[in-house]
Amino acid sequence: MSAAPPLRPEAATTLSRGAVIPAHPLALTSARTLDERRQRALTRYYIDAGAGGIAVGVHTTQFEIRDPRHGLFEPVLALAAEELDGRAGTHVVRVAGVAGDTAQAVAEAELARSLGYDAVLISPRLPGADDAKLLDRARAVGEVLPLIGFYLQEAIGGPVLGRSFWRAFAQIPSVVAVKSAPFDRYRTLELVRGVAESGRADAVALYTGNDDAIVADLLAEFHVDSPEGPRTLRFVGGLLGQWAVGTRAAVRMLECAHRAAAGDIEAYRRLGAAAADMVDVNQAVFDPGNDFHGVIAGVHEVLRQQGLLAGVWCLDPAEGLSPGQAEEIERVRQRYPHLHDDTFIAQHRDEWLR
């Protein structure tokens, strides 16, 4: 098995140190076609907010962009790459989501490589696949670009993946990070233990995708066993749909988490005080009370209220806000201004939308 080319040194440094990586939404018109002007504006927002990376073609971008009826996978990746080329520093990590069976996932990775992406986040959604098939697909994709693993919650189609899977996954030479997003503390622990047991924990950065437990993950110390003996692992950053909004605030939050991990008691206290607030914000945006029906539309609604999106339209007309969700989002925006970027966006929105 051959390995993908290594990460660019600047991207590797960012990824291992820990970064805010927002999952990029999809800007649509009322006719559910791509709104290129607003799509570019979102990318500009994330770059100027200080994000250390951007993930495109992932769940928040809507898996339906791959549907031939829409044909948006390549255009959306290309738009983000163009904005990154012209605006972002070389330290910003470019992540492309890949999905489907092995042939599709490899083809998507090859496209991402041609557009200058650094790594791929590989979706675990593959109906009927067992651990062995998922691992074989990952090894094939890992010959094209470095891999970021993805533990996706069951509520939106993710499979249950045990410690043995994550141990084997992390042993793939191309794996550079893992995103834990099962929205489950036990499964998150099993993922971390699997990475530790792989013997490659120093080469695989842990990223939280648990949007309902961001602060808990950033503060956690995992005391685990490894081939070298007991050790402590931590989440160094986040690749999150929740961080597609309030991105500048998220950058400050991660900086605080890094200070706390280094022993800054005041930073630890400040971050702990924000934990329940973040859960309240996420509950409004992600709509767990309705089985996450409004999860993508909720992200859109925050950005609509801030003037970056024109509406909450999704490619699937059945997806939208749940009753009362827009009001809940307005409530948390007003209640927690320090977790949103209203002032920052108002100052730069016209420039980004040009």
Domain 9-352 is found in CATH 1.10.1200.10: no
Token couple for 270: 């400040």
From its phi and psi, is residue 157 left (phi > 0), alpha (psi between -120 and 50) or beta?
left
Task: Give this prediction's pTM.
Answer: 0.97
Among the residues of 20-101, which ranges form H helices?
36-48, 73-87
Provide the greatest CA pair distance for the chain.
Answer: 57
Selection from 37, 62, 94, 126 nearest residue 353 by Cα: 37
Per-position pLDDT tens, the chain of length 354: 566 788 999 999 999 999 999 999 999 999 999 999 999 999 999 999 999 999 999 999 999 999 999 999 999 999 999 999 999 999 999 999 999 999 999 999 999 999 999 999 999 999 989 999 999 999 999 999 999 999 999 888 889 999 999 999 999 999 999 999 999 999 999 999 999 999 999 999 999 999 999 999 999 999 999 999 999 999 999 999 999 999 999 999 999 999 999 999 999 999 999 999 999 999 999 999 999 999 999 999 999 999 999 999 999 999 999 999 999 999 999 999 999 999 999 999 999 999
How many C-beta atoms surround the C-beta of residue 263 within 10 A?
8
Could you tell me which residues are beta bridge partners of residue 335? Answer: none
Sign of the Cα torsion 93, 97, 101, 103 reads: negative
Distances (CA, A) of 145 to 78, 88, 109, 174: 17, 21, 7, 7
| Residue 58, Cβ density class (10 Å: 0-12 exposed, 13-18 middle, ≥19 buried) | buried
Rounded to whole angstroms, the Cα distance separating 200 from 219 reads: 22
